[in-house]
């Protein structure tokens, strides 16, 4: 019997808008065997999500359309495969959720907010199986137990907003598994989650795939995640497959320069680097007039590229000696930020959530202080409280000898010039109706930097060039830019006021690993050029370690551990820190070998 389950042949999915046709998936062929997990990896825009949505026939039409190709599905007990592209909408509904199920990227928004989690799973069960409400409920609660949700009975009656992100993704997995599908498509299922939660979800999926007889198509931008779960890897670039093969081969002996770039751009854990390698270190892309691309290889060996940017430990030691000889630029003392969780009739708070609870630390001029912890640990609130974007309950924040928390409103404006923040979401932190040039110029106008708008415009162009954008981008709107470009615009906006102190709040968390590397490189470059002091906040210890001289590990509003980043990583003192370290997908070849051989 053939082990083949799904065969995609010459699939082409195009998007046609007023501006022309985008070949989102351009002649893609691959196959999936029974019991196999394949990982599709690529940056956003590589066509990996569109491929999976094409299999589900969920491409929004218009503007998208499957132009040609076959998607052959070999159903159990039938000798001839069905071509999913040829089915009517009604016939397709039988396969959706039943034989081919899907888990989406955003657990926060993928569940309907007005129905209970139990209701949404039983709905899928009752749709495809001939069972009554009682049985469906029992089955759902069993499923919830299987995906290791705490207290399945309670989750059954809970609404999505009452669960955490990881729990919601478990509900989504339970829903996808509810009808014993043959194929489970997971589209970036862990990207929106904390590293620690990502680890538990990956473990769960690994367990489940041993237990059930399903094949998994796992889509991600992060090769590190692929290393933990896939048997075979497909690398996609701009709608085409550039390389595919066994996971061990891909990691130990990558062939395509793009694959090498993706492998090299993850922040390393064992050593320090001046800059992260990026995809363009490995290849040049030339667009031809007919829209096709010519890729030329620049560097053959990942190792060579990495060696060229490594920092020697002695250099780091020297840098730290210089840094910590100075007086701290910022002193935080016993800072508390509490949010009322319960109020009495007259609105007087009765109980608090202690988001930041008695935190003290120093920041030295020119250093980068990392702040790492899971979501809800208070790291973002801490950053916002330091800038007085959030009211503190008590404590002191002394910047250059002044207590920020008690500054009068007028002096605060002066301070805002000096301290800037770069937010997590490059998509929502730019006003969609303002050209990016004006967005960068606005803070300069507010703070009366430079004499007139002409000078300011010149300065904006200069800034755009600093963040590797061009002067012609001045009059464009945010939607015309990619996520990485937008985050660079946000950096340029923060730079407009010549700040000395920048807080980066999860500034790279929403970005692809390859784009993340570019933005991190930019931040490091700026630090060297302008002598910035950073507080760098992230849930990902590998990124924080790469960026920071010292780091603070936060848990439940308190400081768990504080010290030199390398020392904390090499020798963590607390179990919580160890948990954060072990959650990082390492992508080591030896680990993959061990896993695949089992």
Identify whether the C-beta of residue 519 lies closer than 8 Å to the C-beta of residue 511.
yes
Question: H helices of 107-264, where?
Answer: 107-110, 117-128, 133-146, 152-157, 165-177, 195-211, 223-229, 247-252, 257-264
Q: What is d(CA 214, CA 343) in angstroms, rounded to the nearest whole number?
A: 50
Question: Phi and psi at residue 67, in whole multiples of 5°?
Answer: -85, -45
Positions 138 through 167 that interact with other proteins (CB under 8 A):
159, 161
CB of 166 to other proteins, least distance (A): 17
422 contacts other proteins (rule: CB under 8 A): no
Lookup: tokens for 400: 């250059």
For β-strands 419-422 and 501-505, DSSP reports them as parallel
348 contacts other proteins (rule: CB under 8 A): no
Q: Which is nearer to other proteins, 126 or 457 (CB)?
A: 126
106 contacts other proteins (rule: CB under 8 A): yes
56 contacts other proteins (rule: CB under 8 A): yes
CB of 266 to other proteins, least distance (A): 27
Pick from 67, 72, 87, 127 the residue near other proteins by CB under 8 A: 127
Pick from 6, 25, 136, 175 the residue near other proteins by CB under 8 A: 175
Q: Which is nearer to other proteins, 159 or 324 (CB)?
A: 159
109 contacts other proteins (rule: CB under 8 A): yes
Pick from 9, 31, 44, 98 the residue near other proteins by CB under 8 A: 98
Q: Which is nearer to other proteins, 161 or 472 (CB)?
A: 161
Helix (H, G, I), strand (E, B) or coil at 157: helix
- Using CA atoms, how far residue 112 sits from 44, 115, 476, in Å, is 25, 6, 35
Pick from 30, 104, 237, 282 the residue near other proteins by CB under 8 A: 104
CB of 161 to other proteins, least distance (A): 5
Contact region with other proteins (CB under 8 A), list: 120-128, 292-300, 408-416, 582-590: 120-128
Pick from 88, 345, 470, 598 the residue near other proteins by CB under 8 A: 345
Q: Which residues neighbour 585 within 8 Å (Cβ) at sequence distance 6 or greater?
A: 195, 198, 199, 202, 222, 224, 225, 227, 228
- Candidates 57, 77, 65, 76; CA nearest to 25 is 65
CB of 60 to other proteins, least distance (A): 9
Identify whether the C-beta of residue 217 lies closer than 8 Å to the C-beta of residue 56.
no
Q: Which is nearer to other proteins, 58 or 589 (CB)?
A: 58
Identify whether the C-beta of residue 242 lies closer than 8 Å to the C-beta of residue 230.
no
Q: What is d(CA 45, CA 42) in angstroms, rounded to the nearest whole number?
A: 8
123 contacts other proteins (rule: CB under 8 A): yes
Contact region with other proteins (CB under 8 A), list: 100-108, 320-328, 372-380, 391-399: 100-108
CB of 128 to other proteins, least distance (A): 7
Q: Which is nearer to other proteins, 127 or 212 (CB)?
A: 127
Lookup: tokens for 127: 């749709």
Pick from 86, 112, 280, 428 the residue near other proteins by CB under 8 A: 112
Q: Which is nearer to other proteins, 32 or 551 (CB)?
A: 32
Pick from 22, 110, 140, 167 the residue near other proteins by CB under 8 A: 110
CB of 190 to other proteins, least distance (A): 16
111 contacts other proteins (rule: CB under 8 A): yes
For β-strands 232-237 and 37-41, DSSP reports them as parallel
- Using CA atoms, how far residue 205 sits from 146, 154, 240, 579, 584, in Å, is 11, 23, 27, 19, 17
Helix (H, G, I), strand (E, B) or coil at 424: coil
Per DSSP, 506 falls in state: S
Q: What is d(CA 324, CA 367) in angstroms, rounded to the nearest whole number?
A: 9
Helix (H, G, I), strand (E, B) or coil at 9: strand
293 contacts other proteins (rule: CB under 8 A): no
Q: What is d(CA 589, CA 592) in angstroms, rounded to the nearest whole number?
A: 5
Q: Which is nearer to other proteins, 59 or 444 (CB)?
A: 59
58 contacts other proteins (rule: CB under 8 A): yes
**Number of chain positions touching other proteins (CB under 8 A):** 30
CB of 41 to other proteins, least distance (A): 22
124 contacts other proteins (rule: CB under 8 A): yes
Lookup: tokens for 65: 């359309």
95 contacts other proteins (rule: CB under 8 A): yes
Q: Which is nearer to other proteins, 350 or 597 (CB)?
A: 350
129 contacts other proteins (rule: CB under 8 A): no
Q: Please tell me whether the peptide bond between 493 and the residue prior to it is cis, using omega within 30 degrees of 0.
A: no
Identify whether the C-beta of residue 429 lies closer than 8 Å to the C-beta of residue 443.
no
Lookup: tokens for 294: 């010519």
- Candidates 486, 528, 519, 495; CA nearest to 368 is 528
Helix (H, G, I), strand (E, B) or coil at 67: strand
CB of 95 to other proteins, least distance (A): 7
Lookup: tokens for 235: 């690398």
114 contacts other proteins (rule: CB under 8 A): yes
447 contacts other proteins (rule: CB under 8 A): no
Contact region with other proteins (CB under 8 A), list: 17-25, 102-110, 331-339, 422-430: 102-110
CB of 96 to other proteins, least distance (A): 4
Pick from 23, 48, 128, 232 the residue near other proteins by CB under 8 A: 128
Q: What is d(CA 456, CA 445) in angstroms, rounded to the nearest whole number?
A: 8
186 contacts other proteins (rule: CB under 8 A): no
Q: Which is nearer to other proteins, 160 or 395 (CB)?
A: 160
Identify whether the C-beta of residue 449 lies closer than 8 Å to the C-beta of residue 442.
no
Question: Phi and psi at residue 356, in whole multiples of 5°?
Answer: -125, 120
Q: Which residues of this protein are in contact with other proteins, per CB under 8 A?
A: 56, 58, 89, 93-98, 101-102, 104, 106, 109-115, 123-124, 127-128, 159, 161, 172, 175, 343, 345
């Amino acid at each position: 019997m053939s082990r083949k389950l799904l065969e995609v042949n010459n699939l082409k999915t195009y998007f046609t808008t007023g501006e022309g046709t985008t070949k989102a998936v351009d002649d893609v062929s691959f196959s999936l065997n029974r019991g196999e997990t394949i990982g599709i990896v690529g940056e956003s825009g590589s066509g990996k999500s569109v491929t999976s949505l094409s299999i589900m026939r969920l491409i929004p039409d218009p503007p998208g359309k499957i132009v040609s190709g076959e998607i052959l599905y070999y159903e159990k007990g039938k000798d001839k495969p069905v071509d999913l592209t040829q089915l009517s909408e009604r016939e397709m509904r039988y396969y959706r959720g039943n034989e081919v199920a899907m888990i989406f990227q955003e657990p926060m928004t993928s569940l309907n907010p007005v129905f209970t989690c139990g209701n949404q799973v039983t709905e899928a069960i009752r749709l495809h199986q001939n069972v009554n409400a009682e049985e469906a409920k029992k089955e759902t609660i069993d499923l919830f137990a299987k995906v290791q949700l705490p207290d399945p009975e309670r989750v059954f009656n809970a609404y999505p907003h009452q669960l955490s992100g990881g729990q919601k993704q478990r509900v989504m997995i339970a829903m996808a598994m509810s009808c014993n599908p043959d194929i489970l498509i997971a589209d970036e299922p862990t990207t929106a989650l904390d590293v620690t939660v990502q680890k538990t979800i990956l473990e769960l999926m690994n367990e489940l795939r041993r237990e059930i007889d399903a094949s998994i198509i796992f889509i991600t931008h992060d090769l590190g995640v692929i290393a933990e779960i896939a048997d075979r890897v497909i690398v996609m670039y701009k709608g085409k497959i550039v390389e595919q093969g066994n996971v061990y081969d891909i990691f130990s002996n990558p062939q395509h320069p793009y694959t090498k770039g993706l492998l090299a751009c993850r922040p390393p854990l064992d050593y320090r680097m001046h800059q992260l390698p990026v995809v363009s270190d490995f290849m040049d892309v030339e667009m031809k007039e007919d829209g096709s691309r010519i890729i030329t290889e620049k560097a053959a060996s990942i190792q060579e590229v990495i060696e060229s940017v490594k920092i020697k430990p002695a250099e780091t030691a020297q840098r730290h000696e210089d840094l910590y000889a100075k007086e701290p630029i910022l002193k935080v003392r016993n800072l508390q930020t509490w949010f009322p969780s319960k109020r009495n009739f007259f609105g007087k708070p009765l109980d608090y959530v202690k988001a930041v609870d008695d935190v003290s630390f120093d920041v030295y001029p020119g250093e980068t202080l990392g702040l790492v912890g899971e979501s809800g640990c208070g790291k973002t609130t801490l950053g916002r409280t330091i800038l007085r974007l959030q009211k503190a309950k008590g404590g002191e924040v002394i910047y250059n000898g002044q207590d920020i928390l008690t500054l009068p409103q007028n002096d605060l404006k002066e301070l805002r010039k000096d301290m800037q923040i770069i937010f997590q979401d490059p998509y929502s932190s730019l006003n969609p109706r303002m050209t990016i040039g004006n967005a960068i110029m606005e803070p300069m106008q507010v703070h009366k930097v430079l004499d007139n708008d002409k000078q300011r415009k010149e300065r904006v162009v200069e800034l755009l060039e600093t963040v590797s954008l061009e002067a012609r981008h001045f009059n464009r709107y945010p939607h015309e830019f990619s996520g990485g470009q937008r985050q660079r615009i946000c950096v340029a906006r923060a730079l407009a006021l010549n700040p000395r102190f920048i807080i980066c709040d999860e500034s790279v968390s929403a970005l692809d690993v390859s784009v993340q590397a570019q933005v991190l490189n930019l931040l490091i470059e700026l630090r060297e050029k302008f002598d910035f002091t950073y507080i760098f906040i992230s849930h990902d210890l590998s990124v924080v370690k790469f960026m920071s001289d010292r780091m603070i590990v936060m848990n439940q509003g308190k400081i768990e551990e504080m010290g030199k980043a390398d020392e904390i990583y090499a020798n963590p003192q607390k179990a919580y820190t160890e948990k954060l370290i072990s959650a990082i997908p390492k992508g080591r070849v030896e680990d993959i070998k061990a896993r695949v051989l089992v």
